[in-house]
Structure 1
Amino acid sequence: MKVGDELPPLSVRITRADLVRYAGASLDFNPIHWNEKVAKDVGLPDVIAHGMLTMAVASRVVAEWTGDPGRIVEYGSRFGRPVVVPNDDEGALVEVTAKVTKDFEDGTVKVNISAAFEGKSVLTGAFARVRVS
């Protein structure tokens, strides 16, 4: 793992069924994540994925690359825009890429992560610090 290394890209589909499972696991039952009327009434185009679910999906690119999610010692991001999840069998496609951008003397590297939905970034400043040795 060295600066400039690109991680294998990851494509993940998020469906309404995923939103139900995530709501149950996280106890986040905000209706913008399952009720189209409520989502539209508050100005959203439709039901949206939970922001933390989107972050979790994006972190998989690093976890799969290392083969051990325990090697991720720090992870951060801000939400840029929502992932709108249609009411169909296809769901929303989130495409994730990542690149090693810094090597630290403590045996860790910084990996910048990009996550996009419909060609637009959904996370801002997403990064992971990963133990490599």
Structure 2
Amino acid sequence: MTVRSYRDLIVWQKSMVLAADVYWLTREFPKHEEYRISGQMIRAATSIPANIAEGHGRGTRKDYAHFVSIAKGSVAELETFLLLAIDLMLSKKEHITPVLDLAEEVGRMLNALRRRLNERGPGDTSAAPQHLNPRAQNL
């Protein structure tokens, strides 16, 4: 299956769900956290699909892999904030844990995508592959 758009990527789709989940989760946080951890969590979460999209649009494997790495860093940042939110009891643990689980899944998918982008096939130079749909790659 050919990827015509970053929107075809399962990892992008899941990262969009993750970003929306973070928006909903942070609504439960105390009001005084609105410009503290909530804002940082939202920025980290929205950075993930945005970097996947930007990297896909760049057109080279090297650029794409770079932006996937940035997205992976945002996942790690978000996971840290989610763990801190549990420790600070900003929301019920059972509300945070599924979001943390999804963040970990997206992180694993990004690792697999980055590995795939760093592979070089016969005669491959720097063009981004057209077959990065995670369904086709079992990501």
Is the TM-score greater than 0.5?
no
Name the structure where helix makes up a greater proportion of residues. Answer: 2
Structure with greater contact order relative to length (CA < 8 Å, sep ≥ 6):
2
Give the alignment's TM-score, normalised by structure 1.
Answer: 0.28
